[in-house]
A = this chain, B = another copy of it.
Amino acid sequence: MKGIEEGTGLMLKEAGNSVSVITDAYTVLNKELTMALYALLPAGCVLADEEALKRASRDETEDLIFLPEVVVRPETVEHVQAVMRFAYTHRIAVTARGAGTGLSGSALPVHGGIVLTTERLNRILDIDLANHQATVEPGVVVESLQNACAEHGLLYPVDPASKGSCTIGGNVAQSSGGPRAVKYGTTRENVINLQVVLANGEMIWTGANVLKYATGYNLTQLMIGSEGTLGVVTKVVVKLRPLPLHTLVLLVPFFEARQACDAVSTLFMAGLNPSCLEFMERDAIDAAIDYTGSKMKIEEGIKAHLLIELDGQEPATLEQEATLFYEVLEAKGYTIGQILLGQTDAQKAELWHLRRQVAYAVKHTSIFKEEDTVVPRAALPDLLVGVKAIGSRYGFRSICYGHAGDGNLHVNILKGDLDEQAWKERIGVGIRELFQLVVSLGGTISGEHGIGLVQRPYLDIALSQTHIGLLKGIKTAFDPTGILNPGKIF
């Protein structure tokens, strides 16, 4: 109990971030309060050892670290209610946490207090075959849910790069997407009802287990993407659909990155409906090949790839569709290299493994900032050109990849050889300019990662003060004393 006996509510900042922290707004868990919390939950549900606190102190956002004062891991909704009642009574900050794979710092306990992890709320409660729905606890790992559904011939489609570790609760908090969102939607389009524990410990269901809902303001949709600032999700009801039996994957190399971007809207305009349509700059795939030790060879002069997946029930139909893709790309006169076709499971897995490892590979090479830009997809070519222009202006290297079918481009700005001083001085200005470009193209500053902590300084670029005022009003209605994940979004 070292962390707690020091009793500080201290935020440990090991790395060079510039987030300001209010340390006195919330009650610090002194020994008495800590003992009271222990008494509320069964043994093993409250942790305050250094290792547990450290585990809860970071996510996958850059190099940020904030220590909580205590970690709770409730096993039931009643436990969550008990924790929230306690926190509400004493005004203690509570930050809910899934697997900590987030990229906006949303799970970081910037005001100390309690981290509430959903790791023990990890049961698949029901797979309702007759209604194509599943009810799960928030700590269920997304891929586990997918596997369990697949056994019944059903698909839960949302598949972030981290699907093997990220949780459904985290996906709800951040409105997570992934490659298949282009055909099947993000978490938002696949969740129909939520059980939520509110700031004061009361519990509600946000909706009903139905496909359409017109019974007052839609709290289900309001909770999705609210980053744990309005309540703690304790059950999630998702929509399922028939599992596509076959997929086919194409890796299309382009000699001009701008053409790869341009091809995205061209393919949709031709009426095609891929289940995934991903963009990777040359540097991104090179980094992934390097990082994974893949034997794949990329032709010289190739500047970008589109990774396209088609899915359906009949292989013959997919092959016809693939032919259409070739024809559309050819008719447009893009200069493309040899298209790689993944048909066997091993071939497809290799292509996807590269794509999924890009994020890790790129971040492995340098200190970075990742921006989750999203624009109308026909604006992708202008976005890419703009990113590079801003980069040259400020001396940043950038590597871009993402869910191009949704217009969602992850821009990774790399520190590389830039000295510390220049990086610090220029990064904020550069990001601001990038986001201004994104908004001027009709887009916004986050498509699927959320605002959390690290995008918060830029919210004014996307939203007016009037708009932000409305968000704050909603926050107050749900969490009048501001104990739920304070310091995030606005």
Contact = CB atoms under 8 A, between A and B. Distances in A.
Nearest to A242: B271
Interface stretch (A74-82, A356-364, A389-397, A458-466): A458-466
A467 B374 contact: no
Interface stretch (A59-67, A208-216, A281-289, A337-345): A208-216
Contacts of A27: none
B444 A215 contact: yes
Given A221-B222, A376-B209, A478-B470, A214 B451 contact: yes
Interface in A372-423: 372, 374-379, 403, 406-408
Interface residues of A, number: 87
Nearest to A459: B216
Contacts of A265: 130-131
Contacts of A269: 129-130, 132
Interface string A189-220: 10000000010001011111111111111110
A138 interface: no
A131 to B, nearest CB: 4
Interface stretch (A45-53, A112-120, A174-182, A293-301): A174-182
A216 B451 contact: yes
A225 interface: yes
Nearest to A208: B444
A393 to B, nearest CB: 24
A482 to B, nearest CB: 14
A95 interface: no
Contacts of A439: 208
A177 to B, nearest CB: 5
Given A130-B269, A218-B221, A225-B218, A444 B207 contact: yes
A104 to B, nearest CB: 8
A369 interface: no
A153 interface: yes
A477 B474 CA distance: 6
A255 to B, nearest CB: 22
Contacts of A478: 470, 473
B374 A466 contact: no
Nearest to A203: B466
Contacts of A447: 210, 212-214
Contacts of A174: 214
B210 A242 contact: no
Given A376-B209, A442-B210, A444-B210, A217 B131 contact: no
A490 interface: yes
Contacts of A185: 189
A443 B177 contact: no
Contact of A442 (B186, B209, B462): B209
Contact of A477 (B209, B442, B473): B473
B217 A471 contact: yes
A212 B186 contact: yes
B477 A214 contact: no
A278 B448 CA distance: 35
9 contacts: A131-B379, A175-B214, A209-B442, A211-B408, A214-B449, A219-B471, A222-B222, A474-B474, A476-B477
Q: Nearest 10 A-B pairs (CB), nearest first?
A: A473-B477, A130-B378, A221-B221, A208-B444, A242-B271, A131-B376, A209-B442, A214-B446, A212-B447, A175-B214
Given A217-B226, A242-B273, 9 more contacts: A153-B271, A182-B211, A210-B375, A210-B443, A210-B444, A214-B225, A214-B449, A217-B222, A473-B478
